Amino acid sequence: MSGAKKSKKFLLFLVLVVLIFAVIWLTVFISNEQEQKKIEKNATYVVTKEIVKNVIEISGTVEAAKSQSLQAAADGMVMAVYANEGDSVKKGQVLVELDTSSQEYDIAKIDYDIAQTRINGNPKELELKLIQKKSLEKKLEDRKIIANFSGILADFNVAPGDYLEAKDSVGTLVERSYLKSYVEVVETDAPKLAANQIVYCTFPSYPDHTVEGYVVSYPQVGTLTSRGASIVQVEIRIDNPPQIILPNYSFTGQIQITPPQTILLAPKEAVSFSPKGSYVEKVLKDGKKERVTVVAEPYGMSHFLITQGAIQEGDVLAGLSLPPVSGTKPVNKKKTDVKNPMMNGFGNGMQPARR
């Protein structure tokens, strides 16, 4: 047999083998596709709900409602201390007193000079000495460190015999009827702000609790940060804070723009579409199926948001269709206030709540 004939027979054999394998593969593929459709048709899915929050994320540190640095106004030795760290003190209460012997001498001397001037001096000289006495009395008063408001002594560390120089600090007086903080909100979120919006704060020092505050105010002008970002400084306040939360503690939080919304979600395999609209088949307790007309909107890659229809959380739905072709949309789609944060979104700040 010639070489040409052998080559031709080999090619025919090769073609035949390829055709046989192609037929086998196609048969298996079609069988798998049909089986997959059957499985999807007989599968069941559960309606779930999700709580979606419309919030602005924030972080910062809190400070006391009022704060006074307790500083000496002049040099001198501490003669008396009238309070201890942690004490509650009243407005006007003397906390520390420095040596006043020199100031008391100066006042006694000016009193003597005033008395002599009243007898021998002229009215103008008397007027000057009276002014001088007021200055000396002010210096005497500066020998005391006084509480400017009612509050609690923090970091108070001073004892009789200590020597203080002018502006030396011996502690801090704080008023904790409320705590406040100034947090940064980016310019894109600023239009959502309003006074009295609820703020939820979480503190590392108080990890298992959420502390509620509110928005007090914010300026009508933005600020450019050193990072080049435009922000608005928002003042928030926490009334009657827990005692465990102290000034300068850090927190993370959320400003609530609108109350949380509860939405219903159905897996995309359970939602079908027809010229009359979208629908699902609810599996009843007796195993029968009931077709329910719904209004569905895409929600992420695997679910539809159900905005209308007689279904609820926990309903079991039958698998009705293969996933819709990319780019298709449900017909008769109606607008709703709830949108999909994973697709067209609730806008910046919207996020599902943790369940």
Measure the CA angle with vertex 145, ends 144 and 148; round to 5°. 125
Per-residue pLDDT band for 327 (boundaries 50, 70, 90) equals very low
Strands 250-267 and 223-224: unpaired
Per-residue pLDDT band for 14 (boundaries 50, 70, 90) equals confident
Alpha-carbon gap, residue 125 to 171, rounded angstroms: 43
Distance of CA 34 to the CA centre of its chain: 51
Mean pLDDT of 342-349: 41
Reported as a single tens digit per residue, the pLDDT across 105-130 is 999 999 988 888 888 878 888 889 89
Element (H, E) at 323: none
Note whether 343 and 296 are within 8 A (CB). Answer: no
Measure the CA angle with vertex 185, ends 181 and 187; round to 5°. 150
What's the pLDDT at 244?
92
Reported as a single tens digit per residue, the pLDDT across 148-186 is 999 999 889 999 999 999 999 999 999 999 999 999 999
What residues are paired with 297 via a beta bridge? 305
What's the pLDDT at 338?
40
Note whether 117 and 129 are within 8 A (CB). Answer: yes
**Helical segments of 85-122, H only:** 101-120
Per-residue pLDDT band for 147 (boundaries 50, 70, 90) equals very high
3-state secondary structure of 289: strand
What's the pLDDT at 18?
76
- Give the residue, 224 or 251, on which the prediction is more confident: 251
Write out the two tokens for 70: 């307790």
Buried b (16+ CB within 10 A) or exposed e, 203-235: beebeeeebebebbebeeeeeeeeeeeebbebe
Mean pLDDT of the chain: 85
Per this entry, what is the length of the chain? 355
Angular region, 103: left φ>0, alpha ψ -120 to 50, beta rest: alpha
What's the pLDDT at 307?
92
What's the pLDDT at 63?
95
How buried is residue 247: exposed, middle or buried, by Cβ count under 10 Å (0-12/13-18/19+)?
Answer: middle
Element (H, E) at 288: none
Handedness of CA 279, 283, 289, 290 (dihedral sign): negative
Per-residue pLDDT band for 354 (boundaries 50, 70, 90) equals very low
Alpha-carbon gap, residue 278 to 255, rounded angstroms: 37
